[in-house]
């Protein structure tokens, strides 16, 4: 690979950021589009999340014999964070495929479609977070200075969501099975990741918990949301994922970015 290609890939990402008014509007439209002409609009996102959290919270609270005072805020936070991560992955896979018509007619850097997916996932997250805030308020969760860690954690997740959208978007544009494979993997990982169950419910911390990248990603944001100090181990893992993911993405994006217009 030539330096020129890497340079062009960086330039594409930079130029994409400069077109933020465009992808900002497109992302907003994407969210609005789904709930168009319904009375409550995008607040259906909030409502469906709320119903889910309460139904599953009561059920699994009983099954696991948990104190709802502890369990419900944990579940709400986990769901909201998981919603963000899975939306970025699933949306990312379709970033380029869904924008097929635009890619072939618009002379804009293709990275804008990745930004757009991350942005619309963030908008949905902003709707979901109210459920957690309501639950946290009701159960009087102690939000201290630790909660400030929410900001860097959320930023890290978005940075990761962006490479995921670029990488899997690229791969999906070429191999159309990829979005389907990823969708089923994400579904399985939902149950393998401690979202509805707590890590301390495992008799001894199983290896697959530490090897599950989603556990670390969920945990860096969920811990400060619940007022806990984030674990160093989780942060190191997420930083490693970020560096590794971006390295691979930059390699593939530099080599194949220009092919996207031909593939879609």
Partner 1 sequence: MASITLEKVSVSFPVYSAATRSIKNRLIQSATGGQIRSESGSNKISVVQALQDVDLTLRSGDRIGLVGHNGAGKTTLLRVLARIYEPNEGKVLVEGSTVPLFDISLGMDPESTGYENIILRGLYLGLSRAQIRARLDEIAEFTELGDFLNLPIRTYSAGMRMRLAFAVSTAVAPEILLLDEGIGAGDAAFLQKASERLKLFTEQVSIIVLSSHSEALISRMCTKALLMEHGRVIGAGTTKDVLTQYRRMRDSLTNPVGPQASPASSGGRKKGAAHSSATPLPGDNAEAKPDWAVQTAQLVRAGRWEDVDLNRLLAEAESLGHQDSSSIEDQLTLLLLRLLKWQYRPRERSERWRDLIDEGRIQIERAVGIAPGLAEAAESHLEGVYHKARYAAARHTGLPLSAFPAECPVPLSRVLDRAWLPSEAGS
What is the contact surface with partner 1 in residues (CB under 8 A)? 19, 21-22, 25, 29, 32-33, 36-37, 101-108, 174-178, 181, 258, 261-263
Q: Which is nearer to partner 1, 112 or 221 (CB)?
A: 112
How far apart are CB 6 and partner 1 at their closest, in Å?
A: 15
Minimum CB–partner distance for residue 20 and partner 1 (Å): 10
Rounded to whole angstroms, what are the CA distances from 49 to 84, 128, 237? 12, 7, 28
3-state secondary structure (DSSP) of residue 196: coil
> Which pair of tokens denotes residue 234?
């989780």
Minimum CB distance to partner 1 smaller for 251 or for 258: 258
Q: How far is the CB of 60 from partner 1 (least distance, A)?
A: 36
**Residue closer to partner 1, measured from CB, 22 or 143:** 22
CB within 8 Å of 99: residues ≥ 6 apart: 113, 116, 264
Nearest CB to partner 1, comparing residues 190 and 263: 263
DSSP state of 197: S
Yes or no: say if 131 and 46 are a contact pair by the CB < 8 Å rule: yes
140 closest CA partner among 53, 70, 228, 58: 70
Distance CA 159, CA 255 (A): 21
Instruction: Please report which residue ranges of the chain form alpha helices under DSSP H.
Output: 3-18, 20-34, 43-63, 68-93, 95-98, 100-103, 111-138, 150-174, 178-192, 207-211, 213-225, 232-256, 260-263
User: Which is closer to partner 1, CB of 18 or CB of 205?
Assistant: 18
Closer by beta carbon to partner 1, 174 or else 198: 174
């Amino acid at each position: 690979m030539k330096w020129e290609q890497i340079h062009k890939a960086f330039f594409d990402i930079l130029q994409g950021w400069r077109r933020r008014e465009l992808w900002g509007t497109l992302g907003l439209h994407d969210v609005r589009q789904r709930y168009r002409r319904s009375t409550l609009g995008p607040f259906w996102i909030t409502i469906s999340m709320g119903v889910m959290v309460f139904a599953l919270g009561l059920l699994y609270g009983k099954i696991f014999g948990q104190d709802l005072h502890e369990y419900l805020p944990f579940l709400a936070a986990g769901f909201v964070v998981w919603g963000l991560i899975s939306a970025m992955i699933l949306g990312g896979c379709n970033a380029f495929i869904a924008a097929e018509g635009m890619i072939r007619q618009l002379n804009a850097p293709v990275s804008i479609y990745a930004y757009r997916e991350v942005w619309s996932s963030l908008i949905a997250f902003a709707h979901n977070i109210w459920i957690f805030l309501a639950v946290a308020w009701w159960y009087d969760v102690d939000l201290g200075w630790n909660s400030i860690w929410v900001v860097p954690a959320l930023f890290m997740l978005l940075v990761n969501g962006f490479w995921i959208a670029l990488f899997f978007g690229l791969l999906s544009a070429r191999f159309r099975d990829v979005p389907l494979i990823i969708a089923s993997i994400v579904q399985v990982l939902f149950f393998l990741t401690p979202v509805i169950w707590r890590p301390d419910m495992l008799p001894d911390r199983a290896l697959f918990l530490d090897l599950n990248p989603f556990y670390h990603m969920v945990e860096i944001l969920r811990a400060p949301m619940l007022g806990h100090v984030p674990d160093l181990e989780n942060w190191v893992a997420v930083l490693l994922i970020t560096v590794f993911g971006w390295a691979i993405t930059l390699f593939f994006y530099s080599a194949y970015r220009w092919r996207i217009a031909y593939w879609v």
